[in-house]
Amino acid sequence: MRPWEAEVEIDEALVRGLLAEQLPELEASSARRLAEGWDNSVWVVEDRWAFRFPRRAAAVPLVERELAILPRLAPLLPTPVPVPRYRGRPGERFPWPFFGCELLPGREPADAQLSDDERVELGGQLGRFLRVLHAPATAKAVDPDGDLPVDPNRRTVAERSVIARDHVRGVEELGLWRPPGEVERLLDEASRLAPPRGPFVLAHGDLHLRHVLVDDGVLSGVIDWGDVCRADASIDLVLVWSVLPPAGRRRFLAAYGEVDGQQRVRSRVLALSLCAALARYAHDVGHPSLLREAVAGLDRTLVDRG
């Protein structure tokens, strides 16, 4: 079973039935599928509300984490994030919780047809967003007792180079991308790094190119917060490599602040890992725009400038 295959199929009959049963104030017949990922299916209701339904049992704790964290986090950030407005409970029809929030404007970078100039501007916007998210005051306000896990998916440790190597090999075997020699040099360097010691920041934890929205070239939303955690800041720097050109990276650093050498290595390896995984996923499910952006992200990540 592929990691993105659903354990429960989220179809129109299920969604409309759940809404009619639990949230009768909404027009259930208006529900339409918006997007689907590894863990969740997203449906739009009344052209205003975005509902997230987990597709796998492993996603349920992530939904519960979003429900707990997002209401405290959203008012602190300079970019909109989902804020749960409607909550669905587990039952006979569907075994897991789900929630609905205001539909945020914009499209994923893969579908936004960003120009080079827009990618440069996006660098400053991402820098300002992450500077606030990673500020000590934000962590103190959102997770005062330090209850969030520390890098639960182990994305900032040396073993990530092994996972990245597997994903890159898979992309090569599919004929989607031919990795240059720089890939092995980067992965070898990452494999020798000691684990990060902190201080750890409040982190999105899964900030890749499917989890930001862009509207007319402007960062309009950051979504899918199920992996929010405490971690080394490098965990959230994937987009700096995979989406931004060198000039955009300079804009990012001017707005965000210093990123040290080890954080650069960790985040570049994570960018390779996630872009390769997304390319394999896009190829499997037939998502050509995501495939193009993911493969382009692999190429960008190997340009070590900015």
Over residues 139-172, the pLDDT tens digits come to 999 999 999 999 999 999 988 999 999 999 999 9
Q: Number of folded domains in the chain?
A: 2
Instruction: Output the CA torsion sign for 260, 138, 143, 220.
Output: negative
Question: Do residues 62 and 175 both lie within one domain?
Answer: no
**Pairing of β 201-203 and β 229-231:** antiparallel
Q: Which of 61, 82, 102 finishes a domain?
A: 102
Is residue 7 very low, low, confident or very high in pLDDT (cuts 50, 70, 90)?
Answer: confident
> Which structural domain, as residue segments, surrounds residue 88?
12-102
pLDDT, tens digit (0-9, with 9 covering 90-100), for 192-240: 999 999 899 999 999 999 999 999 999 999 999 999 999 999 999 999 9
Question: Do residues 184 and 93 both lie within one domain?
Answer: no
Residue 290 is predicted with a pLDDT of 97
Rounded Cα distance, 60 and 73, in Å: 20
Question: Do residues 121 and 217 both lie within one domain?
Answer: yes
Task: Report residue 100: phi and psi, to 5°.
Answer: -125, 145
- For the ranges 6-10, 244-248, 292-296, which has the lowest average pLDDT? 6-10
User: Higher pLDDT residue, 57 or 256?
Assistant: 256
In a domain, 61, yes or no: yes
Task: Report residue 101: phi and psi, to 5°.
Answer: -140, 170
Q: Which of 53, 71, 102 finishes a domain?
A: 102
Give the DSSP per-residue string, 258-295.
---HHHHHHHHHHHHHHHHHHHHHHHHHT-HHHHHHHH
The CATH number covering residue 227 comes to 1.10.510.10
Is 1's pLDDT higher than 60? no
pLDDT, tens digit (0-9, with 9 covering 90-100), for 264-291: 999 999 999 999 999 999 999 999 999 9
In a domain, 6, yes or no: no
Question: Do residues 92 and 140 both lie within one domain?
Answer: no
Question: Do residues 66 and 181 both lie within one domain?
Answer: no
Question: Do residues 94 and 162 both lie within one domain?
Answer: no
Q: Residue 247: in which H helix or E strand, if any? A: helix 246-256
Q: Which of 94, 97, 98, 100 is nearest to 8 (CA)?
A: 94
Question: Do residues 70 and 136 both lie within one domain?
Answer: no
Residue 4 is predicted with a pLDDT of 64
Question: Do residues 76 and 149 both lie within one domain?
Answer: no
Rounded Cα distance, 80 and 202, in Å: 17
In a domain, 7, yes or no: no
Considering the entire predicted model, what is its pTM? 0.94
In a domain, 5, yes or no: no
Q: Which of 72, 102, 132 finishes a domain?
A: 102
Residue 226 is predicted with a pLDDT of 93
Question: Do residues 139 and 288 both lie within one domain?
Answer: yes
Question: Do residues 167 and 117 both lie within one domain?
Answer: yes
Residue 2 is predicted with a pLDDT of 67
Residue 250 is predicted with a pLDDT of 97
